[in-house]
């Protein structure tokens, strides 16, 4: 397993994305929703990996919209969008915004754009279980 570190712009939130996959083997995509498009997000996950977000006191902001099942994690100080997570039974799963990783430049600058309009909660959860990973927030 390799740990790919990252952070928000100001450094108040650190992240550690752990995966056995090389960066070129990771599935990176862009969501077509207005939130992700406005942030220029490129996200990925590894169902066999994990992501940990470590936030300084008062630096983590969580934002929900749409179906209201997902926390979008942003730095309250600099505004960087770091990733997203949702509860899935007795665990949390999430994705990372590769723009927040130290190796951001190794990823495709314009990965495929995915449109998820019209998904209901059951379909969204099912899709995410295939691609998202164990996620932890330490704040």
How many domains in the chain?
Answer: 1
Over the stretch 6-59, which tens digit does the pLDDT of each residue have?
999 999 999 999 999 999 999 999 999 999 999 999 999 999 999 999 999 999
Q: Residue 3: its pLDDT value, please?
A: 98
Residue 137 pairs in a beta bridge with: 53
- Provide the token pair at 54: 């470590």
Beta-bridged to residue 134, according to DSSP, are 50, 93
Contacts of residue 83, defined as CB under 8 A and 6 or more positions apart, other chains included, come to: 15, 43, 51, 53, 73, 94, 95, 96, 97, 100, 135
Range of the domain at 51: 2-138
Interval 112-121: pLDDT, tens: 999 999 999 9
Instruction: Tell me if residue 9 falls in helix, strand or coil.
Output: coil
Give the CATH number for residue 103. Answer: 2.170.150.70
How far is residue 14's CA from residue 37's CA, in Å, rounded to a whole number? 23
Distance between CA atoms of 88 and 91, rounded to whole angstroms?
A: 5
At 100 the pLDDT is: 98
| Mean predicted confidence (pLDDT) in 117-136 | 96
């Amino acid at each position: 397993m390799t740990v790919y570190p990252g952070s928000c712009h100001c450094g108040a939130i650190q992240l550690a994305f752990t995966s056995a996959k090389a960066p070129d083997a990771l599935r990176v995509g862009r969501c077509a929703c207005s939130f992700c498009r406005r942030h220029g997000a490129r996200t990925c996950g590894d169902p066999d990996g994990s992501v940990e977000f470590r936030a300084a006191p008062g630096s983590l902001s969580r934002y929900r919209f749409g179906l209201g099942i997902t926390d979008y994690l942003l730095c309250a100080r600099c505004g960087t969008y770091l990733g997203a997570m949702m509860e899935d039974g007795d665990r949390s799963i999430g994705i990372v915004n590769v723009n927040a990783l130290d190796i951001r430049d190794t990823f495709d600058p314009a990965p495929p754009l995915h449109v998820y309009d019209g998904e209901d909660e059951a379909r969204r959860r099912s899709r995410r279980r295939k691609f998202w990973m164990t996620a932890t927030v330490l704040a």
